[in-house]
Copies of this chain bind each other. A is one copy, B any other.
Amino acid sequence: MPSMQRASLVLAAALVSATAAAQTKDPLASWNDGPAKQAILKFVAEVTSEGAAFVEPAERIAVFDNDGTLWSEQPIYFQLAFALDRVKAMAPKHPEWKTQEPYKTLLAGDVKGALAQGEKAILGIMAATHSGMTTEEFASSVEAWAASAKHPKSGRLYTEMAYQPMLELLRYLRGKGFKTFIVSGGGVEFMRAWAEKTYGIPPEQVVGSSGVTKFELRPNGPVLLKEAKVEFVDDGPGKPVGINRFIGRRPVLAFGNSDGDHQMLQWTAAGSGRRLLGLVHHTDAEREWAYDRQSHIGKLDKALDEALQRDWTVVDMKKDWKRIYPFER
């Protein structure tokens, strides 16, 4: 055989094998081959293939809770960690905080003591760090925090604590023509500052809680001012309301992890045709955290009962996930 021809054959064989490898590469490589992974693959195959369960691409809306579903939420919600860090950063401009609670306790380094002052104290911290500035100033403060603040347990950036299996699921769904949305109780402007980079989800596909903003025409141009007034709480029954308001279409897939996602799952399940309803169950005290029915954060009780009864997909973090975070081997 002439050498040119031989080289061509070798090249062709290499191309065929590379193509085969790409085709067989597991899109959900960090998922163990259990019932959760099988349910996802089966659902996606059914709604994207010709047949009775086919769903038009425009209708392939997939919604995900954020805290505890796409990234961790322990020992405190990451947005609260942001607020506490912001109090420290903003303190030089607030000398009154030296004598005012809960700031005094917090600035003395006693986070637990500050949080123990109750809901009103925490809401005060949230208001102080999330209002009284323009939307652009706020976004900058979140970006700076996300690029530098470290989680107390992992020592990693908070955005590195997104779940690797869920990152794979988001990418896999988008590859199959789904439009992925966040529908979270977290602040919409907080999430938008890092969601695109972390999850590949653009700002216009992030639905969350929000405060009132006000348009103001200043001498050097218009601004939107963030006011200390809650506008919308995207949690519990607020989630289907938020889906209707922001998306205007009923999802075919919904993933959550707590009772705050219960109504979103019910609303998604009630549509006609095939649906996938998923719950991330935090069962891994070693690699992540283990909590459910008794937890103050991410309490999962009634939604778990309905999931078990209706055969929704309950992801057992310990059994179903090979890796939790992208930084693990």
Contacts and interface: CB of A to CB of B under 8 A. Distances in A.
- Which of A135, A179, A205, A263 gathers the greatest number of chain B CB atoms within 10 Å? A135
Interface string A266-302: 1100100000000000000000000000000000000
Contacts of A27: none
Contacts of A214: 237, 241
Interface string A165-206: 000000000000001010000001100100010000011111
Given A215-B267, A222-B267, A204 B246 contact: yes
B213 A241 contact: yes
Number of copies: 2
Contact of A248 (B192, B247, B263): B192
A221 interface: yes
Contacts of A76: none
Interface string A45-65: 000000000000010010000
A249 interface: yes
- Which of A189, A204, A210, A266 gathers the greatest number of chain B CB atoms within 10 Å? A204
A222 B240 contact: yes
Given A179-B204, A202-B58, A222-B240, A217 B266 contact: yes
A213 B263 CA distance: 14
B245 A210 contact: yes
A248 B213 contact: no
Contacts of A117: none
A244 interface: yes
Contact of A189 (B204, B248, B263): B248
Interface in A210-251: 210, 213-215, 217, 221-222, 224, 237-238, 240-241, 244-249
B247 A203 contact: yes
A188 B243 CA distance: 13
Contacts of A248: 188-189, 192, 203-204, 206
Interface of A: 58, 61, 135, 179, 181, 188-189, 192, 196, 202-206, 210, 213-215, 217, 221-222, 224, 237-238, 240-241, 244-249, 263, 266-267, 270
16 contacts: A58-B202, A135-B244, A203-B249, A204-B205, A204-B246, A204-B248, A213-B241, A213-B244, A214-B237, A215-B241, A215-B263, A217-B266, A221-B266, A222-B240, A222-B263, A222-B266
